[in-house]
Structure 1
């Protein structure tokens, strides 16, 4: 659905206000352009006219180099579930780092984190560590290919699983995401629409025996923080079981939803799971875990998939992961999920009172703001990342609340009721500034 908001661009007033309030960031951005393409080294953190630079972060707050204090409702795209610099995690990471970190040998903290993941996630019998969610999904797919001896994968249109070749097909549409991806990758990828059970059935009827795996997110993240329906997930499980095709869940974002991740919350067990973000205690991390026979593809003596990396399972990251999961227990997750549910309700009430159609999606502590009044079930119905989202990002930032430029947000455990009030108030004022006239009576109820 095309809305008037999709035709908008960042206003001169909004851009000028941002530039005037971020002089030091502008200086740093100009310096960065001399030594990095466009001044950028992480595409998702770039926004127009230039990104603001963060000086420090503690709890739920960011301090920028321009002296601003922002409520962080982005949390490094869901990684900082405990907020920033949580003391128990910092203590364990620093203690382990002082004991030596760069060693070409296994260490006990890796065993401890693997045991924690196996203990929390019933579908995970064994674990392999790497350094990012990208590496996690890449290695999960490689294990599935080695096990099935097939090279074709099935993924969701709008599903983002990192930056290796085959998963960068079908992100924004059915083709490759950019020209840095070889066209031959497109031939190895079959895409289906999210939550379309009939299309998924038809795909498996046509090519199910040729697939190495089906990879999907229980919550479609980049595509708009859209929960999968129970029917879609169960259909995915049934079809993959019938064809002996490994089902891979990408839980890099959704693992925060329950002690055992979204799969526990939904009662669906995949064959392999990709982890990342929060399981490293604020340090680079990734992991793939699952059935022992699939994970045996990585066995150093009998497996067929070679997997190494200088920083795989480095002990400081592993210690940080153990400390994080210790703090993120069932009670903490339940509280966070309830806060998220309450916030989504409040944001939707504000949106319902606006002149511009707005739909809030999400689950647990995750949410997305869409500029549409139609049901949001897949990439085609999502408005994530349209121009109105960018304007909303700047307006909420001006109110002291930092969300994703595509309209996504998530909560962290240090957040309080007053923080949720601030988010709701900022959203209401941002809509008013954008000319959408929201004056929700239940703003503080």
Structure 2
């Protein structure tokens, strides 16, 4: 990493440095979320409003991370704040159902093509875990097919072949490697091969219709259509992880791409900024969790807590078709003009993404799957820090996304910083 960039960062962030030193004494690594760390230490945020963050060092940053796509309405949107605080003031942990959950469930059933019934949890990890459990309960099988580089949270079954070929790290049981089969994204022949060899033993096929952590990689429509055809042929539930991609259309990526799965996992923005997860799909699959007739169990102290449900309803009301289409148009402009800027520099950078999501890769491309991507490597970190020093905050791996408070002025700001940062990295 450029020592000048590190020196500039350290000089600008003494308060964050002091907080990080305190944090490391009481939390391993100084935090409880691995992705928030970056070298030499992360910035600490004191407040956020709209599309701006204010750090503990009184720096204002244009937020193009948005809590990894969660803050689609930006930070502290007034209607959501009002809905959450009003509900919380009327009591939150009530240990019983409330109408808030019914309303949010109705909204999701109306909005997402695949969802006939839905249940709520507290994270995207819980959402994908329980969607897989529903498929296992339905099929009686335990083998899961996923994509190489596909990230679906931190439960054991999906912590395979995210960055490598086997289990991601120690602490994950070795046996998951025996019951997880993988295939590369956008490779139809490989997908057909996996079904020919394993189709009769699969509990499900889970994938992000646009790969997020692997690098904002768009699907080839024929690949998604083949996935749908094969899962129907082998009677294997198809699960879309739309924790990130729900923002791409009113009905999520499945509506944008015209391919309807059997089950869908949701999270991020559908809780109005509070911890949330949801999974839903065909009624016969979801009946596995019926409290009287089901064969599986699903509970949790904060499942469908009223404040989260109220925040989710307010968020969905604000994120209507017009808002999504405007964000997607801004995303189209950002990617188009970023590619033009990159072409004017002597660095290997590829821009991927769709709708309001984008990714910068420090590679010459093309990027079609996890193997050809540079996400999850250290390659982008120098450019990340150069942009961070100039007031633009993204993921250290190069991921970015837009929020509704943004307009063309923010896109102009990003593009100018990108141009200047590329020149700094070249120097």
Q: Does 2:315 align with 1:324?
A: yes
Q: Which residue of 2 aligns with 1:170?
A: 161
CA distance in structure 2 between the aligned counterparts of 1:344 and 1:195, rounded to whole angstroms: 21
CA distance in structure 2 between the aligned counterparts of 1:122 and 1:78, rounded to whole angstroms: 21
1:312-368 alpha-carbon deviations (Å, 9 max, x no partner)? 000000000000000000000000000000000010001111111221000000000
Q: Which residue of 2 aligns with 1:282?
A: 273
Q: Does 2:60 align with 1:73?
A: no
RMSD: 0.7
Q: Which residue of 1 aligns with 2:390?
A: 399
Q: Does 2:136 align with 1:145?
A: yes
Q: Which residue of 1 aligns with 2:152?
A: 161
CA distance in structure 1 between the aligned counterparts of 2:233 and 2:292, rounded to whole angstroms: 31
Structure 2: runs of 5 or more not aligned: none
1:50-89 to 2 correspondences below 5 Å = 50-89=41-80
Native 8 Å contact 2:2 2:425 kept in 1 = no
Q: Which residue of 2 aligns with 1:241?
A: 232
Structure 1 residue 44, shift from structure 2 partner: 0.7
SS at match of 1:96: helix
CA distance in structure 1 between the aligned counterparts of 2:35 and 2:5, rounded to whole angstroms: 21
SS at match of 1:388: coil
Structure 1 residue 387, shift from structure 2 partner: 2.6
Q: Which residue of 1 aligns with 2:200?
A: 209
SS at match of 2:223: helix
SS at match of 1:387: coil
Structure 1 residue 173, shift from structure 2 partner: 1.9
1:227-262 alpha-carbon deviations (Å, 9 max, x no partner)? 111011000000000010000000000000001000
Q: Which residue of 1 aligns with 2:375?
A: 384
1:402-432 alpha-carbon deviations (Å, 9 max, x no partner)? 0100011000000021111010001000000
Task: State the TM-score, normalized to the length of structure 2.
Answer: 0.99
1:162-186 alpha-carbon deviations (Å, 9 max, x no partner)? 0000100010122000011111111
1:88-140 alpha-carbon deviations (Å, 9 max, x no partner)? 00000000000000111000000000000000012110000000000000000
Q: Does 2:115 align with 1:121?
A: no
SS at match of 1:219: coil
Q: Which residue of 1 aligns with 2:326?
A: 335
CA distance in structure 2 between the aligned counterparts of 1:41 and 1:328, rounded to whole angstroms: 30
Native 8 Å contact 2:124 2:276 kept in 1 = yes
Native 8 Å contact 2:5 2:385 kept in 1 = yes
1:176-195 to 2 correspondences below 5 Å = 176-195=167-186
1:248-263 to 2 correspondences below 5 Å = 248-263=239-254
Structure 1 residue 11, shift from structure 2 partner: 2.1
Task: State the TM-score, normalized to the length of structure 1.
Answer: 0.95
CA distance in structure 1 between the aligned counterparts of 2:256 and 2:136, rounded to whole angstroms: 28
CA distance in structure 2 between the aligned counterparts of 1:94 and 1:66, rounded to whole angstroms: 28
CA distance in structure 2 between the aligned counterparts of 1:185 and 1:384, rounded to whole angstroms: 24
SS at match of 1:19: helix
Native 8 Å contact 2:145 2:202 kept in 1 = yes
Q: Please, which of 341, 351, 371 is the counterpart of residue 350 of structure 1?
A: 341
1:15-56 alpha-carbon deviations (Å, 9 max, x no partner)? 111111000001110110110001121001111111100000
Runs of 4+ in 1 over 2 A off after TM superposition: 385-388
Structure 1: runs of 5 or more not aligned: 1-9, 437-445
Q: Does 2:187 align with 1:196?
A: yes
SS at match of 1:173: coil
SS at match of 1:332: helix
CA distance in structure 1 between the aligned counterparts of 2:171 and 2:121, rounded to whole angstroms: 23
